[in-house]
Chain A
Amino acid sequence: MPNEPVLALRGISKRFGAVQALTEVHLEVHAGEVVALVGDNGAGKSTLVKTIAGVGPADGGVIEWCGRPVQVNRPHDAQELGIATVYQDLALCDNLDVVGNLFLGREIRRAGVLDEIEMERRSRELLHTLSIRIPSVRIPVAALSGGQRQTVAIARSMLGEPRLVILDEPTAALGVEQTAQVLDLVERLRERGLAVILISHNMADVKAVADTVAVLRLGRNNGTFDVASTSQEEIVSAITGATDNAVTRRRARTAEVGR
């Protein structure tokens, strides 16, 4: 391939005590590409994300950034590279306000002192451009609804200048309109030439925005598909590991009932 991947994972393994969460996982993401990472509950998606983000470093394997092997042992390392992550559990500080959370770990300073005014101005600007509606940027995140919290977490990843954005089930708690907005946003990121890893259980969303689908099953790669030329059934059977699975059985059943 002429353009080398922004991020390439080669043989990533990770174990938690007796659980081998990841075994020899490979994954490549190119600039301007949206890779959907799918798999059943407990397949190891979030674990993989955490190895990339430096939150839970891998036990084995190599992470290549722009073709060069790198060490990502701390969240700081990932930030330096330009990796922004929206975690499944959001990782927000409930007691801090929206501005505090958006800029956590990269506060704007003015003579060594927090520049609250500039941070507030930029927060408002950012939330505005993302069409995020929040009662006030100065209320503690604890007082926001689940969906609002999720939009704050997403907005957070847009600050700075990331080259790779990882979204771990970003639409899980969102309403229809907000979900559409997040999908729009993912497309915009791609247009700007960023690499995106999107984790989702929603096949429709995946089909709508992803270029490539990488399937994880029980901590192993179980195929990489080109979205345009693959049917939803093929992806589902890769996720469940069989063509005869709960999804196809259910579809057959409801089809009979419908008839």
Chain B
Amino acid sequence: MTGDIIEKDSPKDEAAARGAVAAVDPRLLVREEGLKGYLLEFWRKLRGGDLGSLPVVVGLAAIWAVFQWRDDAFLSPKNLSDLSILIVGTGLISVGVVFVLLLGEIDLSVGSLSGLAAAIVAVLSVNHGVPEWLAVLAALGAGAVLGALHGVFFAKIGVPAFVVTLAGLLAWEGLKQQVLGTTGSISMDEDGFVASLTSHYFSQVAAAYGAAGLAVAGYFLAQFLDARRRRAAGIPFRPMADILVRTGVLAVLLLAAAWKLNEYMGLPLALVIFVVVLVLFDFVLRRTPYGRKVLALGGNVEAARRAGINVDLVRISVFALSGLMAACGGLIIASRITSAAQSAGTGTLLMEAIAAAVIGGTSLFGGRGSVWSALLGMLVIGSIASGMALLGIATSVQNMITGGVLLAAVVIDSVSRRTQRSAGRG
């Protein structure tokens, strides 16, 4: 199929092609073998403004070091375990936000939608006696449908996403209050399904280690098979040493986490949910045609349209996904406090969800980013919150610091975009 037109080249063309191979462009970016090659490539990426997740990882390490220095309870098993549950609710919302940001758009309604989802579950299960799992499905469905509604107004009618979702922010906040009624706050079953989402731990020692081992083995296998197929196809592949080093680093990180979690109460169910969602959506974004369409739209809408991509459909689906993930996050947050209150989904929740995606390295300008930025960003925000709480610093100061971190992240994003521009097209 490929190269059908050019398959049977005339001798003249073959000669030209051979000439091109013989005269290899001296500027070709071939990576040297070994450590030196790595460092060189790394340096080249930095120079080109391709910082990836480096700033956030460095920042996170610094934050952890400072808090641990001020109070050695910070890296205690209990605190880290609590942190790993604390970040899940907002983190799930942030996964949806990442997709919207990849389009170069924004969704301001996720906070309200998450609160609405919590209200729906509480009212259905507590006031109307609907089984909790059914109530959860209804809430998730509502999130997806309302998100899709934003998408329709944005894609089909052309209202800026900013305004549509701002309207959503107000409207769904009002709807949540209607749903909750005058009672204000509805307590849910302490032993119910929703409550167990954040209260359940897999307390067997083998569980955390087993999950870590499974993840490491899965990563290694995926990398190994990929390299083998690449080698067979005659295209550049990752050398074995490289794969082993990466797998090793991952193994150390995951086993350390498993050890810490086992020191406390074991592997939290909420963390498992979060990681599964991250892996799943990372796969969708990087490995499926759908994810490629989302990225293409973020890069150049007109090019995507001319390539035959159904732009409207992708846009609507991304906003539906954002609504769905907002509802998921809302349920986890409700689960932690086992109730749905008038205050659900308000306050800094929306800003934190968006900030996490940006701090984690997803560009506000669309087309660049990763699902994992939801985790990295939430780790930063959650660590600041948890560390400050340990040190007894007021929320007001906490907000100012998180604001500063967000600003720093956006500055890095803008600067790296500028550097990429100037390092890119001449």
**Does A129 make an interface contact (CB < 8 A)?**
yes
**Does A159 make an interface contact (CB < 8 A)?**
yes
**Does B377 make an interface contact (CB < 8 A)?**
no
Chain B positions 260 through 295: 1 when the CB is less than 8 Å from some CB of chain A, otherwise 0: 000000000000000000000000000111001001
Residue contact A145 to B13, C-beta cutoff 8 Å: no
CB-contact partner of B25 in A114, A133, A140, A162, under 8 A = A133
**Does B175 make an interface contact (CB < 8 A)?**
no
Residue contact A117 to B229, C-beta cutoff 8 Å: yes
Q: Which of B1-31 contact A (CB under 8 A)?
A: 1-7, 9-10, 12-13, 16-17, 19-21, 25, 27-29
Distance in angstroms from A225 CB to nearest chain B CB is 27
Q: Which segment of B91-99, B301-309, B392-400 sits at the interface? A: B301-309
CA distance A55 to B299 in the complex (A): 18
Q: Which B residues are in CB contact (< 8 Å) with A124?
A: 235
CB-contact partner of A130 in B6, B303, B304, B423, under 8 A = B6
CA distance A130 to B425 in the complex (A): 22
Q: Which of A84-108 contact B (CB under 8 A)?
A: 85, 87, 89-96, 100, 104-107
Residue contact B6 to A143, C-beta cutoff 8 Å: no
Chain A positions 186 through 229: 1 when the CB is less than 8 Å from some CB of chain B, otherwise 0: 00110010100000000000000000000000000000000000
Residue of B nearest to A146 (CB): B425
**Does B424 make an interface contact (CB < 8 A)?**
yes
Distance in angstroms from B272 CB to nearest chain A CB is 24
Residue of B nearest to A184 (CB): B13
CA distance A232 to B368 in the complex (A): 49
Q: Which B residues are in CB contact (< 8 Å) with A89?
A: 302
Distance in angstroms from A139 CB to nearest chain B CB is 8
Residue contact A94 to B299, C-beta cutoff 8 Å: yes
**Does B245 make an interface contact (CB < 8 A)?**
no
CB-contact partner of A133 in B20, B298, B304, under 8 A = B20
Beyond A114-B292, A142-B421, A194-B5, whether A121 also contacts B307 by CB under 8 A is no
Q: Which segment of A7-15, A28-36, A71-79, A234-242 sits at the interface? A: A71-79
CA distance A136 to B287 in the complex (A): 20
Distance in angstroms from B41 CB to nearest chain A CB is 11
CB-contact partner of B426 in A91, A104, A113, A146, under 8 A = A146
Residue contact B303 to A104, C-beta cutoff 8 Å: yes
Beyond A93-B300, A104-B303, A143-B48, whether A188 also contacts B17 by CB under 8 A is no
Residue contact A107 to B296, C-beta cutoff 8 Å: no
**Does B70 make an interface contact (CB < 8 A)?**
no
**Does B233 make an interface contact (CB < 8 A)?**
yes
Residue contact A55 to B426, C-beta cutoff 8 Å: no
Q: Which B residues are in CB contact (< 8 Å) with A92?
A: 300, 303
Residue of A nearest to B303 (CB): A91
CB-contact partner of B308 in A105, A112, A146, A194, under 8 A = A105
Q: Which A residues are in CB contact (< 8 Å) with B300?
A: 91-94
Residue contact B2 to A125, C-beta cutoff 8 Å: yes
CA distance A161 to B1 in the complex (A): 7
**Does A59 make an interface contact (CB < 8 A)?**
no
CA distance A89 to B367 in the complex (A): 19
Chain A positions 157 through 169: 1 when the CB is less than 8 Å from some CB of chain B, otherwise 0: 0111110000000
Q: Which B residues are in CB contact (< 8 Å) with A64?
A: none
Beyond A93-B304, A94-B367, whether A129 also contacts B13 by CB under 8 A is yes
**Does B420 make an interface contact (CB < 8 A)?**
yes
Q: Which B residues are in CB contact (< 8 Å) with A174?
A: none
Residue contact A93 to B295, C-beta cutoff 8 Å: yes
- Enumerate 5 A-B pairs (CB-CB under 8 Å) in ascending A order: A94-B367, A104-B307, A105-B309, A106-B308, A126-B6
Q: Which residues of A contact B (CB under 8 A)?
A: 53, 55, 74-76, 79, 85, 87, 89-96, 100, 104-107, 109, 112-114, 116-118, 120-122, 124-126, 128-131, 133, 135-136, 139-140, 142-146, 149, 158-162, 181, 184, 188-189, 192, 194
Given contacts A92-B303, A114-B287, A144-B425, 4 further A-B contacts (CB under 8 A): A94-B367, A104-B307, A128-B17, A135-B28
